Chains A and B, each alone.
Chain A
């Protein structure tokens, strides 16, 4: 076919089928959508990073030997693996979307990946410092059944009543010396707090999550040696400098 014949044939097809160029706004919309998805993925990844930082900084480092036996064991047990998976997933999503922007192909794979990781970390630390790490953790814990078991390794560590570690939410307070608690697995406990102090009374209220050091008396009874609020804030603000860390069990 001669050059002009093929070109004319295409032009005739365009005219006969009334083909029109796709409007510019459609391409712009698509491009903005890809950029938005890229940024949203990066921000969601940063939220995950904020929760990870929150969980790591609020691990019970003062009790690492009692909870896990060794520092390495404690670190491995404390890492919030599912949040790490989320972080990696959203960093890759951000990377994937950025690669599909108009100019994304111009940049090297690893450069985009490293930039995504660095941006997620910086944003994540910022979100953590403004309290978003804890806020997200709290919202998930309050609304997602089994959240503690699946997402929060700290909750698993505090589910060792035989070894003297128990955590859960206060259900009802009969007196400062006796209250009921539901652990994160859903079991009900009768708590005896003979070493009650006025400080305990500040957070000894229904619906408050707490962590308790003590010993198991029977299947449903636990005696308190010492206890602290589960969440550092607002407790951290209230008790900063007032409540000392837990004394080691041993």
Chain B
């Protein structure tokens, strides 16, 4: 096996990990599997694409490649804007769809069906606006350079791994030590008791969408940077996201990231040994194995 699979797997796995944080938080706080989460990834990528393109075409600056990277300084700025916009999109979706359903006290599974409908609508809207043609943030090509033991990486890939590490550590520290993080854990343990104790449950729910949407946007932008931007990019990641979140144990942020890296590495090894056409089956096999053998995941608590 080629050691290159290690890097490819880490790159793919960090995108999955970032997305899976949102899935695992939504799941532990609102207790439903959000099938629309993949769309936040796609929308994040397209938000950044549109913002960057609009800025460059208006002012004519910002597109020149920055140092060794393939993109100009406009992309990080557009990326930050996209994180905000995607978080707002997640909040809006909760406001018009999920919150009314929760208030009706709908069965949790109705929320899952609704998220399935929202996912299809959001994805097709992207397809309508941007068509199916793949897009890129930059048309400049990058040469990968050897970094370690015959493994090659592009500067973009290394930047992406670094950014992911910073984001994950930041979110983990925030959720472990901040008041918001403690409130989230309280609501995830027992919403009724948390509310009696004076925790603003609605605010916790908003925070979950902001974190989930923002991190999904980050995953989408990075995925767009090192692969490509397509309306289906998020939907195709959905199964790996679920596999990672469940493997890591629902509610565990480090678990989601470790799960994501594991799924990414397994996919890369499969592509090398079995063939790229079976890549999508990997997440399913991991998912099935975890659910049968250890449904609470690696870092999960006993249900």
Please determine whether chains A and B interact with each other in the same assembly: no
